[in-house]
Structure formats: C-alpha cells, structure tokens
Chains A and B, each alone.
Chain A
C-alpha cells in the first residue's frame, strides 16, 4: 500500500540524514522524497511516499516521532488529502503538437525550434497515465518531483 507521510523537522544539518537513515536502518521503503524550508525558517517540511501495511506505517510514524529532530509527523493516508506532483517532460519540437499538449492538461514552459519542455501537475496516478500516453512519442527526458500533499480537512501539520 502506498502512503504519503509528511513531517516537520528542525532545519539544521544532520536532520535529513537521520530521517533517511531511519528508513534504510529499519528496512522501510522510500519511493519519493521532497524536502523544503517552510514559512518558519527554523523548520523544514519533508514529504515522502512510502509503502507498507498498516503495521509498517504505524512503526514508521512512531520511529520518526522518536527522532529528536522531528517535530511533528502526519500520516496523510489516515485522512482525506490532496496529493500533487510536478512533472517536466522534454520532447523534440516535432514530436508533439500544442493541441495534444493541451489535451493532456500540459503547459509549455519552454520551447525553441529543437525541443519543447512541458509541465504537468497532478496526483501521481494521473502523471503515470500521462507518461503512458507519451509512450508512443520519442520523449527525451522526464523529471518528476515526487508527491507532496496536504490534508483536506481542518487537521494541519504546523506547530501552532
């Protein structure tokens, strides 16, 4: 089962390596990982997609909570949430028409006579489908950020 777990951690050296190290140390999977500073400069927000059954996810959140640098953990799979991921695709300019790009909900973010860079935003499944649809075309490069998420109820991952 795929799950998104988000956490706030101290924005200081070593914090990220403790989180990532925990996953390898205890044999948990990381499918994707995003880290960025938050509006509070002392905190970073880390979002990861992981896999495991309920028991594994429970252990992951508990073990993460034990890390001194981790301030708060939220298992987004426990509640309704919105998931978004950004994907950038590079194709030869002749490979795709602007109409096709629009049909895929893509947006051209750069183009010249040789190539076109297209931006797609969606949940991960959505992006998987787009990748499939682009299969017949000669894509030069695909970059995905990994999923980020926010709960769609009043629950928040903040320290206020």
Chain B
C-alpha cells in the first residue's frame, strides 16, 4: 500500500479474499489510497480501466487468488486489446503452497500471460517497491497496457518487516520505448503530405492515449485534410468539426469509408489497420500511399504494407511534422483540397447518416435507437462522458454522439466486452465526480455486470444508464437476419427480461421506463435533472432496426450495405 501511495495512486477498485487479507488490513490502516469495493472482480478491472481511460492516469485493481484472479481475466484482456494502463494486484497462495493445487490457487502469471503487457510474480517482500515501480512504468509508457503483480500471501505478512525504499527511477535494460520519430522518416512523410491531392488522416486510440488531440487538430487544419477516427479514436478530433468525416470501418460513415477507399494518401496516427477497418486487406485502399505513426514498431506493416513508417509517440511525431511543415509553409496550399472536398460533400449528401432523425416521429410508432442517442446528445449538450457496452447500441452511440473531446467516449473496442459499460462508468465517475456520465447499453450487455448497481449505491455514483431495450441480442440478431436467413438462434428472450425499473429501484436507484417516442425527450431531461441519483432509463426501441452502413465482408471499404435493401455498389 505504501508503494501504491508513493506511486501517486489515489484509489483502487477491488474485492477482498483470503490471499489478500494482509493487504486489506493495510488498506484499513491507511488513508492515502481509497478502496472501492465492487461486487465482482471483472467490475473492478473494468472500473480501473474506465478510470484510466477518462483520467489518463493508471487504474488499479486488487483481487484475491484463484477465482478472484480468473474473474479479473476478462478485464485484463479488455485493457490489453485497447492498450490501457491498468495495474492488477492479485493475491497468490503462500509461496510454499504454490504448485500443490492448494485452495484458491491459480497460476495467475500463466493464465494472464497472453493478455498482459508484462507480469511479475513477487518472490521476496523486499522486491515489492521496485516491482510496483516497474509495473507502473511499464503500464503507462510506450504502448500502454495492463500489468499484473501476483503476490503470495506470506510476502505481505505484516510480521515481516524490511527497510522500505521506494525507487525514484526505473531502469529496465530491455525496455526503452522511442518517443521521437526518425527525422529522415518525418521528412519523407512531409513530402508525401505536401504532394497529396486526395488525402485523409486516419486517427485512432493512440492519439487519445498520448494526449495528442491538439496536435492532430492543428495538423489537419494546417493542411485542410479530412479526418476520420476509429471507434477507439472518437474524440481525438472534434466530432462536430466540418473537417471530420465521422467514424470509419465496419459501421463507419459512407463518406469516411469512401474517402479511405479512394484517397491517394493515408496518414495513420495511433491506429492499427485492424480487420474492422480494412475489410479485405488485399483490396484496401489500393491507390493510396500510406504513412503510419505508431509507438509500437510491431504495428507497422503488420496488416497493410506502408510506405513511410514512423515509430514514436503520436504527440512528438505530429509536432515534428508540424514543425517541418511550418518551416516549409509556403508549400502548403489549402485551396488545393477544394476538388477533394467537393467530392466528399457529394458522398456525404448522397448517403451520410441521417442526423435529422430526432425530430421525425417514426412511422411505426416505435422509437429508433439512433433517436435515443440524439436525445442524449442534445440533453447533455455533447459534453457527457459516454461509456458503452458492446453491440448495436455501441455503434449507434459511436455514430450519433459527436465527441468533441478526447477521453469522452469510453468503450471496449478491441475485445468487444459486453458488461464493460457500467463498471467503466463507475471508474469515470470516480475520476470526474461532478461530470455527467452516461452508460449507453442494451438489455443484453447490462445484465453482464448488473451487480455493480450495488457498488453505485454504496458510493453514491449518479451514473445515467441509457438502456436501448430491443429485447434481443441486437447485433447477433442483425447478423442472423443478414447471413443466416433470419434464424434467431438464441438471440431473443423477450419473455424473461427483468422489469428494469423495479430492478433499479430494488438496488435503491431511480428507474424510468420509456415506451413512446413522445415521452423520450422529457424522460431524458428528467434523467439528467436527478443530479445525485443513478437513473436507469429503460427505453423500448424498434427491435427491427439494423446498424448501417455496414462493410460487406471480403470486399473493399467502398462496398457497404446502406440499408436493409440498398448497397453502395
């Protein structure tokens, strides 16, 4: 605990158990680090993750051995896939019992190995300070990621004492992430940027992780380039800005995907050309030169061959590019982009998202899920932190809420973890107690970590849960509609859903049900007017609605389904 305090940790999420009882006693006996008792270890890691994503500071979770450790695994995998700085301290059985199949023993280092950036099994109590120091250093630097510290119970025994010395610096001989991009590569990139006629900036979560949004925005404005963000990158560039094309990829906007397919230059920053973006990599943006800035050398040319690779932090590299451009500013010609922008406007006009939805009453009387997001956007003036779970609601939120600031949109993009939204929202609310925090979810996802409603009561977290209730696993159902002849195999459960209003009330919160379009806006208002209460807004939405656009599998980015009936090609 002293090491955590020295590291500047203000709070940790966790759940006690046999192997961490010494640690919990130490928690009781200090007042530097607040401990938040969750209701399930998965919730602890997601909460730590949400805290980290919103605040930029590392999140900490403490779990016991065995089931405590294995329950943390989904949280670790989520943090690993989205590269977030989370440190999980797991208890382990006593050193002499390791390997004997003793009570609540799990090989946490082994189980977590493929989903952590690094892990430590503490072998001597004296090593705890230096291991904690290294763990936080590794978690927060380079490409961030989760780190596990597994501590056998006997090594936290208060009866054993040693002179405590928290190291001020870290020296790991095999680990020194590059910050600056190679000047030679930067110059090559600048040359391509100046030559491009139909360019695009494709920015991902790395920009947010590295707090490089201002630099990204400056560069885009300087060059008058269009910008698209990945699901993880939303907020890296202001969502309501004219130069913003919206999200790209699987459920990206028509204009963003068309720009990606037809451009002559892609500047990728802190993004990784993953399969939800590229569609078939062999058909991906064949005429474009590609510049890729990433902190992780292994991301370069992993999936798509690139022309100029720059290894370094997004912030540093973008600054280097801006400086080079400013030295050469007479060569920048923003007007050169006019024909390209004209083309983009044509695409946007033809098949852009229908942002006028909010004021149009649906013909079948059912509320469209997109309208709920628009209503949320309007009510929160675009300023709320929005966490989400995984599925249709996640995509609707990504499409229809315009995130103007980084760290405002918090979702499990890489692993796609249902159950992430509510505990992540707890982490966000702890990081920003006064901010509006909305958890956009569905009746499927919310039930995967619903137990955390109890944690929210204990700590008075006024989260607003916006439940897009379509009484089905919507995204699964959508795929079954599209690819499996509408056979809804195990994706519906309408007769067995709980009464979410009563459920919220039984946990001591406020529940509001919305069935009619006419009531939506008022209910949303009421929800956010209750400043100090958690409100569970359960909205019945049209179960037939699909998420579009949607990339057609095995084809290029220009091949999209635009509605149930129409395609882009």
Contact = CB atoms under 8 A, between A and B. Distances in A.
A70 interface: yes
A59 interface: yes
Contacts of B302: 59
Contacts of A14: 109, 119, 121
A71 to B, nearest CB: 4
A62 B298 contact: yes
Contacts of A66: 296-298
A159 B121 contact: no
Interface in A12-26: 13-14, 17-18, 21, 25
A21 B298 contact: no
Interface string A1-45: 000000000100110011001000100000000000000000000
B348 interface: no
A25 B138 contact: no
A160 to B, nearest CB: 12
B545 to A, nearest CB: 37
A133 interface: no
Interface centre among A18, A21, A68 (most CB of B within 10 A): A68
Contacts of B297: 62, 65-66
Contacts of A159: 173
B162 interface: no
Contacts of B113: 17-18, 21
B354 interface: no
Nearest to B298: A62
B175 interface: yes
A68 B118 contact: yes
A61 B298 CA distance: 9
Given A13-B121, A17-B113, A68 B172 contact: yes
B301 A68 contact: no
Q: How large is the interface on A (under 10, 10 to 19, 20 to 34, 35 or more residues)?
A: 20 to 34
Contacts of B119: 14
A58 interface: yes
Given A59-B302, A63-B298, A65-B297, A71 B114 contact: no
Contacts of A62: 297-298
B174 interface: yes
Nearest to A62: B298
A65 B117 CA distance: 12
Nearest to B120: A14
Contact of A71 (B109, B117, B174): B174
A69 B175 CA distance: 9
Nearest to B119: A14
Contacts of B114: 21, 25
A69 B301 contact: no
A68 B296 CA distance: 13
Interface string B110-148: 100110011101000000000000000010000000000
Interface string A46-58: 0000000001001
B174 A70 contact: yes
A20 B302 CA distance: 20
Nearest to A159: B173
A69 B298 contact: no
B174 A10 contact: yes
Contacts of A59: 298, 302
Given A21-B114, A25-B114, A58-B301, A68 B174 contact: yes
Nearest to A8: B174
Contacts of B296: 66
Contacts of B138: 68
A65 B118 CA distance: 13
Contact of B175 (A17, A55, A68): A68
B525 to A, nearest CB: 49
A70 B296 CA distance: 16
Interface in A96-120: none
Interface string B380-419: 0000000000000000000000000000000000000000
B292 to A, nearest CB: 13
A10 B109 CA distance: 16
Interface in B297-330: 297-298, 301-302
Nearest to A66: B298
Contacts of A13: 121
A28 B302 CA distance: 14
A70 B172 CA distance: 11
Nearest to B145: A66
B110 A55 contact: no
20 contacts: A14-B109, A14-B119, A18-B113, A21-B113, A21-B114, A25-B114, A55-B301, A62-B297, A62-B298, A65-B297, A66-B297, A68-B117, A68-B118, A68-B172, A68-B174, A68-B175, A69-B174, A71-B173, A72-B174, A159-B173
Which 5 A-B residue pairings sit nearest by Cβ, starting from the closest?
A: A62-B298, A71-B174, A68-B118, A25-B114, A62-B297
Interface of B: 109-110, 113-114, 117-119, 121, 138, 172-175, 296-298, 301-302
Given A25-B114, A59-B302, A68-B118, 8 more contacts: A13-B121, A17-B113, A63-B298, A65-B297, A65-B298, A68-B117, A68-B172, A68-B174
